[in-house]
């Protein structure tokens, strides 16, 4: 009967340790992922030479097209 208790405690300890490692690992991965994304965004610079005029008053900013928006009130 004592062996069963010892075995249960050992298995329970391993399961608890694995769960804690998983929780801490996922937390660290999330934090490091956010930091890496923030660094990538911070490294991007706006280059005015990348602005190319397109037809109809549109401009392309590094591959993205932006149009002039005008609003009218009625």
pTM for this entry: 0.40
How confident is the model at residue 64, as a pLDDT? Answer: 46
The domain locations on the chain are 2-66
Q: What is the DSSP string of 7-57?
A: HHHHHHHHHHHHHHHHHHHHHHHHHHHHHHHHHHHHH----GGGEEE-GGG
Per-residue burial over 48-69, b if 16 or more Cβ lie within 10 Å, else e, is eeeeeeeeeeeeeeeeeeeeee
Asked whether 52 and 60 are in contact (CB, 8 A), the reply is yes
- Note the pLDDT tens digit of each residue in 23-71: 777 777 777 776 676 566 555 554 455 555 555 555 444 444 445 455 5
């Amino acid at each position: 009967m004592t062996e069963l208790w010892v075995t249960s405690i050992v298995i329970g300890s391993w399961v608890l340790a694995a769960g804690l490692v998983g929780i801490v690992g996922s937390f660290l991965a999330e934090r490091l992922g956010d930091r890496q994304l923030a660094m990538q965004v911070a490294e991007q610079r706006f280059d005015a030479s990348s602005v190319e005029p397109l037809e109809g008053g549109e401009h392309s900013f590094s591959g993205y097209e932006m149009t002039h928006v005008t609003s009218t009130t009625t």
